[in-house]
Amino acid sequence: MAKIGFIGTGIMGQPMAANLQKAGHQLFLSEHHGKAPQALVDAGAIALADPQQVAQEAEFIIVMVPDTPQVEDVLFRADGVAAGLSPNKVVIDMSSISPTATKAFAAKINATGAQYLDAPVSGGEVGAKAGTLSIMIGGEPQTFERALPLFQAMGKNITLVGGNGDGQTAKVANQIIVALNIQAVAEALLFASKNGADPAKVREALMGGFASSKILEVHGERMIKGTFDPGFRINLHQKDLNLALAGAKELGINLPNTAGTQQVFSTCTAIGGGNWDHSALIRGLEHMANFSIRDK
């Protein structure tokens, strides 16, 4: 059994933490931004006042918060994780944040004698609950091996990509692919429906060919049925594409299709859809076309 601090028990974090509990680990939670989830406390988690106390109690400290500024705050505020570290403890950031900032955070944590892993995930709320997340990891191999049982309790496809920052780079790449595939499916279904075809039948036909994909299967069905309760919110995917576009600027490369998809997400946000599931990107296209595939 490991002593694990878990900071960030939202849509993704709470089921991930619950899976660590099911694997027999002891959890410590921070209440610096609100009460710890009662379900985790009832299952044995210990709630503490701030991230510093969590880091003092735990061997591994997992952070799962929305964006780069929140990670920086949790780690380096006056009562943050860094203030509670001692040598050989392991900080694991499972948020999806800037690769550039991650390298700077890792350097500061590693300088304390603790070790740092960036380990963002893919698979959404469904994967978090099922313990089937894909986990992309950056850090030292020996630190990865120490933390591997924890990752195995939360995910299935677990890959040490390289050094600190490389896990976050892999996650940004993942989010580019997912976003562009969502837009491709949305455009195809909009085209088919506007041209008079039944989008459900078109999707069924495409599922048997080279265009088949998980996104066509899962998000295509969501688009047709209009079921846009968030598994992964548009505003979070926008954040990830902003990381991609900012990174592209730093690297001096152009990502034109990523930029185009971000514009459609922005249309969704402008019409009140920032908290819709990212499959609702089709609603941005429908808004621009003044046509809905669900109104036939």
Give the span between the Cα atoms of 197 and 195, in whole angstroms: 6
Which residue in 241, 223, 234, 238 sits closest to 273, CA to CA? Answer: 234
Q: Which helix (H) or strand (E) element contains residue 166? A: helix 166-194
- Lookup: tokens for 12: 């993704």
Secondary structure (DSSP) of 61-115:
EEE--SSHHHHHHHHHSTTSGGGG--TT-EEEE-S---HHHHHHHHHHHHTTT-E
Give the span between the Cα atoms of 101 and 108, in whole angstroms: 11
239 is catalytic: no
Which residue in 39, 113, 37, 97 sits closest to 63, CA to CA? Answer: 97
CB atoms within 10 A of CB 113: 11
Query: Residue 40, Cα to own-chain centre: how many angstroms?
Result: 21
Annotated catalytic residue, options 35, 89, 103, 171: 171
Catalytic residue numbers, as ranges: 171
